[in-house]
Chain A
Amino acid sequence: MNKTTAHHISDNYYMEDTDSVIVLKDVCKQRRQHKVGPLNWSLPHGCITALVGENGTGKSTLLHMLLRTLYPDSGEISWFGQSVQGEMPLELRQQIAYVSEKPSREEDRMTARTAGGFRAYWYPDWDEQQFDQLLQAFDVPADVQLSKISKGQRQKFELAAAIAAKPRLLLLDEPSSGLDPFAWKDMIIMLNQAMEQRDLTILITTHRMEEVKRLADYVVLMHQGQICGMQEKDELYQQWKEVWINPVQDIQTLNWLRECPGIIEWDDKPDGSVRILTADAQILQQTAEESGITTQVHGLEWEELLSCWVKDHHLKTDREARL
């Protein structure tokens, strides 16, 4: 497993005894508009990992390569330590369940119950009892055509069916897109429960911050076809902070503060105050206080955190390119 390339942002983080469910090595795929890769990354076992990034940045391409519905042009992917030539073997595919933003039309004319019956053919470990329980607990009608139930109910059916298939890996492509808050909450509960019940790994793509907060253990960021890195969620939330310093007359002190490590943005305001984004708020705060300057430290909003991450990634790759 290639730990160093996968997590170059936080080198000090540890992964317990868990191994990786999926490992990507130099995976590339040329798409019509852009190139995805080379991707080097491994998906931690037994955790929920959120895959985030702008639309069109390669997240779905990546998911389809993980499902083997799309083959990489070069590089290597392994599932549960097993690499695959050509089509994915059935017994491997049966360990993976997938839910997309839009349900497939094939099951539209079936009811939840009949569709469940069909899926039981595909998944030998199918748990009928759990499937029924989930439908009941989350108010999904079992005997109405799937095309006639609400979007929220349909998506809950998809999740229940994916969970009842007892996969070792669950891939979710923006499963909450367009869900109302009630169905969304049910989804969060279902996924958390599924994680409690057995050995499961989830990879989920999402744009919702609250979803990352409620579900994720790790966050992977993709940008322009590249993986910027993977971070433990709580480290990510604390990685960059916004520090405000009050107007300072003394230019020398300001220049000195500017030398503090970790600063990725320095924004002088017209009134003489400064807004700084930094990876090391503690040092900055301490240094400022020692010179009698008061500071305020704030956590960052999700969007700002992500743009800090992208910026940090660019700074690092630029530096590496120069060396």
Chain B
Amino acid sequence: MRIPVQINENSAEPLYRQVENQLRALIISGQLEEGTLLPSIREFASDLRCSVITVRRVYQDLENEGLLRTRQGTGTFVTGVEQEVRTRMGEENVRQLMNEMISRSYNMGWNRQQLEQLFQEILDTRESDS
């Protein structure tokens, strides 16, 4: 199975974080269902053109978070995520994204009022577009 993870080589974000964040999002959003067998570490690394060390680290981290489980001899599977956990982790993810965005905007000299205004504006445009 081809896991839709995209690597951005121009990003300052470390590669394993890019892969980990995207894979986590796929699981939490339910795009990767419970019981899905993930590619082997070597296979996934070759698909992504990255090293097995990176994929191993990602699998281990997500296993520690309870999102993946490895069964000896069979492979790594997506575990079930309860609705409540899903909502909480989803919110955590969005919160992190927003925090990053806000920090960078502040660095570029934006203030709270400007940000709030722009945020509203973008939301409104999107609503009227759809």
- Chain A residues proximal to chain B, CB less than 8 Å: 16, 47, 188, 192, 195-196, 213-218, 232-234, 237-238, 241, 281-282, 285-286, 289-290, 292, 297-299
- Given A196-B43, A289-B108, A297 and B12 contact (CB-CB distance below 8 Å): yes
Interface size class of B (residues with CB under 8 A): 20 to 34
Complex A-B: 26 CB contacts under 8 Å: A16-B56, A47-B52, A47-B53, A192-B42, A192-B46, A196-B40, A196-B42, A196-B43, A213-B49, A214-B46, A217-B51, A217-B52, A232-B51, A232-B54, A233-B50, A233-B51, A234-B14, A234-B15, A237-B15, A238-B14, A241-B12, A281-B12, A285-B12, A286-B107, A289-B104, A289-B107
Q: Does B73 contact A (CB under 8 A)?
A: no
- Given the complex, which residues of A lie within 8 Å of B6, measured CB to CB? none
B1-30 to A contact mask, C-beta < 8 Å, 1/0? 000000001111011100000000000000
Rounded to whole angstroms, the CA-CA distance of A234 and B11 in the bound complex is 13
Shortest Cβ gap from B2 to chain A (Å): 16
Shortest Cβ gap from B74 to chain A (Å): 14
- Given the complex, which residues of B lie within 8 Å of A297, measured CB to CB? 10-12
- Given A192-B46, A196-B42, A282 and B109 contact (CB-CB distance below 8 Å): no
Rounded to whole angstroms, the CA-CA distance of A233 and B104 in the bound complex is 29
Shortest Cβ gap from A4 to chain B (Å): 19
Q: Which of B37-95 contact A (CB under 8 A)?
A: 40, 42-43, 45-46, 49-54, 56
Residue of A nearest to B105 (CB): A289
Shortest Cβ gap from B11 to chain A (Å): 8
- Given the complex, which residues of B lie within 8 Å of A234, measured CB to CB? 14-16, 50-51, 53-54
Residue of B nearest to A288 (CB): B107
- Given A196-B43, A297-B10, A290 and B15 contact (CB-CB distance below 8 Å): no
Nearest 5 interchain pairs by C-beta: A299-B9, A217-B51, A213-B49, A233-B51, A234-B15
Given contacts A234-B14, A237-B15, 10 further A-B contacts (CB under 8 A): A16-B56, A47-B51, A196-B40, A217-B51, A233-B50, A234-B53, A237-B9, A238-B15, A286-B107, A289-B107
| Contact count A vs B, C-beta below 8 Å | 55
CB–CB B104/A299 < 8 A? no
CB–CB B51/A218 < 8 A? yes
Residue of A nearest to B49 (CB): A213
- Given A196-B43, A292-B108, A282 and B12 contact (CB-CB distance below 8 Å): yes
Residue of B nearest to A294 (CB): B108
Shortest Cβ gap from A44 to chain B (Å): 9
Rounded to whole angstroms, the CA-CA distance of A196 and B60 in the bound complex is 18
CB–CB A216/B51 < 8 A? yes
Shortest Cβ gap from A304 to chain B (Å): 13
Rounded to whole angstroms, the CA-CA distance of A285 and B46 in the bound complex is 31
- Given the complex, which residues of B lie within 8 Å of A237, measured CB to CB? 9, 15
Rounded to whole angstroms, the CA-CA distance of A83 and B43 in the bound complex is 34
Rounded to whole angstroms, the CA-CA distance of A237 and B40 in the bound complex is 23
- Given the complex, which residues of B lie within 8 Å of A218, measured CB to CB? 51
Rounded to whole angstroms, the CA-CA distance of A298 and B107 in the bound complex is 20
Shortest Cβ gap from A29 to chain B (Å): 30
Rounded to whole angstroms, the CA-CA distance of A282 and B100 in the bound complex is 13
Shortest Cβ gap from A207 to chain B (Å): 17
Rounded to whole angstroms, the CA-CA distance of A26 and B49 in the bound complex is 33
Residue of A nearest to B8 (CB): A299
- Given the complex, which residues of B lie within 8 Å of A16, measured CB to CB? 56
Rounded to whole angstroms, the CA-CA distance of A196 and B46 in the bound complex is 12
- Given the complex, which residues of B lie within 8 Å of A216, measured CB to CB? 51
Shortest Cβ gap from B63 to chain A (Å): 15
Rounded to whole angstroms, the CA-CA distance of A241 and B53 in the bound complex is 21
Residue of A nearest to B9 (CB): A299
Rounded to whole angstroms, the CA-CA distance of A218 and B14 in the bound complex is 16
Rounded to whole angstroms, the CA-CA distance of A96 and B59 in the bound complex is 31
CB–CB B49/A214 < 8 A? yes
CB–CB B52/A192 < 8 A? no
Rounded to whole angstroms, the CA-CA distance of A216 and B53 in the bound complex is 10
